[in-house]
Amino acid sequence: MNPHHKDETYLRQELEQIEKARINPDGFGVLYEKYYKQIYIFINRRTDNEELSSELCSLTFLKAMLNIQKYTDRGLPFSSWLFRIALNEVNMYYRKHKTERCVSLESKAVRALAGESPAGPDEDSVKRLMLALGRLSEPDMQLIELRFFEERAFAEVGEIVGITENNAKVRIYRILEKLKTLLKGRS
């Protein structure tokens, strides 16, 4: 079977679920069940607080359900729209409470980002990368998180942060160049 055909079938089924949710709010439960865990994990990586993550996740799904009529299919999974709402909720929380944003980076993901050399990353390069990542602006870090730690396609990254796919590519490549410069300066 053509993998592209599989994606089309998946997106078509998802659109049917969305239409059911638009007609009857009870239909939203299927989407909630399908995406709750992904959205919770996404939020928890940014808060590192289970109670806060649950609260923000609930707000995300409430807003999604209340605004399902405004959802526009752009050929991406529905989850992209949910991730965008979740990211906005996290950002609003941090702005409102004037607290520092948390970034929970898995060692495996940092190692993958650091491991551009054939031998793979050593402990020193991982530590230097962590320091360099800490020097990025919040918007830059969000792009890196989405692309490399969440493993999102450029189109999804753009959708989640509200920019075009092309703009997401350009900005991420510029950030990678900035990281390389930061790493060279600390060698």
3-51, pLDDT tens digit by residue?
A: 445 577 877 888 999 999 999 888 899 999 999 999 999 999 888 889 9
Distances (CA, A) of 23 to 17, 28, 134, 169: 10, 10, 45, 37
**Higher pLDDT residue, 34 or 134?**
34
Domain spanning 107-185, CATH class: mainly alpha
CATH of 3-97, one of 1.10.10.10, 3.40.50.10540, 1.10.1740.10, 3.40.50.980: 1.10.1740.10
Check pLDDT > 70 for residue 165: yes
21-30, 66-75, 116-125, range with the lowest pLDDT: 116-125
State how far Cα 10 lies from the chain centre: 20
To 10 degrees, what angle do helices 165-185 and 123-134 make? Answer: 120
Average pLDDT over residues 94-103: 71
Residue 60: is it exposed, middle or buried by C-beta count within 10 angstroms (0-12/13-18/19+)? buried
Would you state the pLDDT for residue 14?
86
**Residue 2 pLDDT grade (very low, low, confident, very high; cuts 50, 70, 90):** very low
Average pLDDT over residues 99-116: 59
Which pLDDT tens digit goes with each residue over 85-96?
A: 999 999 899 888
How many of the other CB atoms lie within 10 Å of CB of 10? 11
Please, what is the Cα angle at 26 between 24 and 31, to 5 degrees? 105
In this prediction the pTM is 0.74
Would you state the pLDDT for residue 117?
42
Residue ranges, comma separated, of all CATH 1.10.1740.10 domains in the chain are 3-97
**Residue 1 pLDDT grade (very low, low, confident, very high; cuts 50, 70, 90):** very low
Would you state the pLDDT for residue 119?
47
Would you state the pLDDT for residue 118?
42
Distances (CA, A) of 145 to 1, 86, 87, 142: 32, 14, 12, 5
Taking the C-alpha atoms of residue 84 and residue 12, their distance in angstroms, rounded to an integer, is 21
Residues 6+ apart with CB under 8 A from 44: 50, 53, 104
Average pLDDT over residues 124-144: 83
Residue ranges, comma separated, of all CATH 1.20.140.160 domains in the chain are 107-185
Average pLDDT over residues 68-96: 89
- Start-to-end C-alpha separation, the chain: 49
